[in-house]
Each structure stands twice: as C-alpha cells, then as structure tokens.
Amino acid sequence: MSSVGLSFGSATSGQGFNVSSTVSQIMTSMQAVETPWNTSLTSLEAQDTVISSLGTQLSTLTTDLQNLTDFDGAFSGMEGSSSDTNVVELTSASTTAVAGTHTVVVSKLAQTSTEVSGQVASTDALSGSLQITVGASGTPQTVTVDSSNPTLSDFAATINAAGIGVQASVINEASGQVMELVSQTSGSAGQLSVTGSLTDTTTSKTVNYTSAQSGQDAELTVDGISLTSSSNTVTTAIPGVTMQLVSAAPSESVQVQVVNNTSGVTTALQTFVDDYNTLITAVNTQEGNTASGTPEPLDATPVLAQLQSELENGISTAAGAGNITSFYDLGITMNNDGTLSLDTDTLSTALNTNYSDAMNFFQNTGEFGQTYLSTLGDLGTTNPDGALALQSSENSSQESTLKTDISNENALISTQQTNLTAELNSANETLQEIPSQLEYVNELYSAITGYNTGTSS
C-alpha cells in the first residue's frame, strides 16, 4: 500500500490542510487491496460469456445430431415422384411409406355436386322455400325466405346459417345475380337434390334450380387394383403416400415412385457439418490472444483442452458397421484446422447404395450417432455434470466469494472514511487555531514582562 503525506505548510500559518483531498488519497490507497479481486471477477465474468455462447452452440449441434439419430428424424422420411404430374402429383410420403414403384391409372376425377338458380335482380324480393337434400339417403332440409330480408343475397345467408351441408354464394352476372349451392361433401355421397318453389315477387317469375355439376367419385387403378375416392386427394391407395389426382387419363399409366429421403438426410448432415464448424472455430479461437493482445477468456484452461480433444476425437474415431464405418464413407473429412468438409457426391452415392448402413451409423447403439450424442451431453451446459456446466458452477462460486469480499471491504473502507474524516477535521481545526493561540501567549508575555513583542528595540 502506498503512503499518503499531509502537506499544510508552516504549522504556524493557520492554513491547515485539505481534508477531502487527503481522505480521498487514503481511501484510494486502501482500495488497492480490491484490485486483484476485481481483476479476477472480470476474468471469470468474461469466461461466463464464452461458456454461455459455447453452450448454446453445443445445444444446437446436439439438436442437429438428434435429427439424424431419432427414429422419426431425417432418416425416417420418404419422398417420391410422379412420371406425369399433370395427371398424378405425389404431395407427401410419411414415415410409414415403403420404397417402391407403383402404376396408377386415373379414369375419372372426383366432382362436387353443384346447383345453380335462375337469374334474379339484386334488389328483387323473393318468397317461398326450398327443400335441400345432401346424398341419396339424406334427409330433406327446408329453408324459407325471410320476408324481412328477401333478396337473393339474404336468402344465401339464411341457407349458410342453417348448417345443412351446403355452401351458398351469390354470383354477379351481366344481367343479374344467380345463387350457387355447393355440396360440402365431395363425390357421389354429396349429390344435391333441390326441390320446392321460389318466386321473384318483383317480377312474379318462378326461380328454378338446375344441376351445374353432379357429384362423382374418382375412379383409378393402383397396380391393377380398382379403387374409388370421393376426393381427388387420395391417401389410402398407397400406404403412407398422399396423391393428388390432377386430370383423368384413362389410357395413361403413371409411374409413382417412393424412395428414401436422401435429400432430407443430405440437408440434415450439411446442417450438422456447418454447426460443428461454427462450434470448433469458436473453441479454437479461445486458444490465443484477443485483438488487443490479451489472452482469450478460456485460453490455457483445462475445460478448453477437454472441448477440443473430445469434439475432434469423437469425429475422427467415429465407428460404424457394414459398409459405413466412418465419416469418410459418407464424404465427410476433417481439415487441418479441425473443421469438416462434406462431399455431397460421395454422400449421395453412399445413401443410394447403403441407406440402411448410413442410418445405422447414426441410430445403432455403439455406433457414431449415439456415442457422439453422449459426448456432446458430457460437454455442454444443459447437463448439470457437463464440462461447461461444471466450469460455470465453479466460476459462479468463485464470483460469489469475490463479490462478498469486495462488499465487505467496501463497507470497512466506508466506515474508516467516516472516522478518518472526523479525526482529520478535528486535527485541521487544531492546526488552524495555532496562530491565535500564539498571539494570546505573546500578549500574556507582554503583560507580565512589559516587553512589547511587537516593537523593535
């Protein structure tokens, strides 16, 4: 601790000294004991920031790997194609689909039953009621024109509010309006029957309904088996596959192919490689100095060495069985800086020829995927026993101790500052009184001796 001197000139000058400045110097000197504590605290907090960032990146990489190791992840998906998407379009293939090729012939498309009214002027009033039946075995539903709201648009709203399985809408034409009734059940089961009588009371004409389109089921064959569907979206013809029938082509055999989800696996692997490279680059950056020349927060720490070792060793020693025994077989190689590169051509060949072995490489116990998941868990912050989690906990304990020490020291210094200020103020008052005390002594001396100390002899 440095020393602080008092400067008040001549003791008899009566000037005293600057108490505030003197106390400030003494406090600064006393606070020097906190410097190493604050330095350590700053260092630990910088480590916390890096640990949090690396923990997030490890969590992201874990999620990427889980997409490859989970049974319902990237490897479980299927994809497909159609030889003529103008006739049949393959919209999806779920995890229950089986790879294979199927022949589809579409004879008819499904249709939804539609009825259309005769023309009515938009302001004309109607009267009467309709009996609307959906399906051959449906129960007729009666809807009556509301005399207080008698226009065609009003009647359409009344039908829709009735909830009888049809959708009414008004269409404007050049010389008036028509109302369209569309069955809400597609195919032959939704065939509409409209009876009853409406009258345009403004013109005294009858408003008739005619069929614009009959309800019809789609007809198709899949691998020679005849099928029907009330909808053009077919979900049951090929297990796990959803097809959209686009047009009828009775004389054309469309080839629908269901294959493994190689594109999805490629995307998942590329994501894993990219996020691994982000993580390992961030880890390697901690080995050295910052741009200002100071060491990185985790430089030379055991946890950094553990991260580098286990991340890279887990990749380079990846083990599998069958025809996929390492990342190299999937087109993944490690660069000199520890980052990875993915050759998509090699990966494509591997997936097209050894899809099940590639899947096992990630999903089987004892092979790479499950093993590396465990490694990532042992390093991250989500597992309380992970390397970064333990380092963060240790840092937190040290930071708590340092903050307590600093707080206690500040409290002690504050008390000493108060006491010291009072003592120095008292001393300063004494110094400032010395000239008047000397003058009193001189006057007393003159009175006793008759000697005037203020005149020369």
| DSSP one-letter string for 397-442 | HHHHHHHHHHHHHHHHHHHHHHHHHHHHHHHHHHHHHHHHHHHHHH
- Residues of the chain with pLDDT > 70, as a percent, come to 94
pLDDT bracket for residue 334 (50, 70, 90): very high
Average pLDDT over residues 112-117: 97
The pLDDT of residue 176 is above 80: yes
CA 289, distance to chain mean position in Å, is 32
Note the pLDDT tens digit of each residue in 267-319.
999 999 999 999 999 999 999 898 888 999 999 999 999 999 999 999 998 88
- Do 66 and 136 fall within a single domain? no
Indicate whether 196 belongs to any domain: yes
Query: Number of structural domains, the chain?
Result: 3
Which structural domain range is residue 344 located in? Answer: 1-77+261-445
More confident residue, 21 or 111: 111
Q: What is the number of other CB atoms lying within 10 angstroms of the CB of residue 436?
A: 10
Indicate whether 241 belongs to any domain: yes
This prediction's pTM: 0.67
CA 61-65-66 angle, to 5 degrees, is 115
- Do 255 and 269 fall within a single domain? no
How many residues comprise the chain?
Answer: 457
More confident residue, 440 or 35: 35
- Do 127 and 24 fall within a single domain? no
C-alpha to C-alpha distance for 71 and 415, rounded to whole angstroms:
66
C-alpha to C-alpha distance for 451 and 116, rounded to whole angstroms:
139
Q: How high is the pLDDT of residue 321? A: 87
C-alpha to C-alpha distance for 297 and 299, rounded to whole angstroms:
6
C-alpha to C-alpha distance for 52 and 46, rounded to whole angstroms:
10
pLDDT bracket for residue 228 (50, 70, 90): very high
Task: List for the chain the helix, strand, coil content (%; round to 5).
Answer: 45, 25, 30
Q: Looking at 92-96, 205-209, 335-339, which range is the least confident one? A: 92-96
Mean pLDDT for all residues in the chain: 91
C-alpha to C-alpha distance for 327 and 156, rounded to whole angstroms:
65
Average pLDDT over residues 10-14: 59
Indicate whether 349 belongs to any domain: yes
pLDDT bracket for residue 442 (50, 70, 90): confident
> Among the three residues 236, 260, 284, which one is the final residue of a domain in this structure?
260
- Do 167 and 34 fall within a single domain? no
> Among the three residues 147, 180, 213, which one is the final residue of a domain in this structure?
213
CA 18, distance to chain mean position in Å, is 61
Average pLDDT over residues 68-78: 91
Note the pLDDT tens digit of each residue in 14-72.
566 677 887 788 777 877 888 899 889 999 999 999 999 999 999 999 999 999 999 88
Q: What is each CA distance from 418 to 3, 19, 21, 184, in whole angstroms?
A: 19, 12, 14, 87
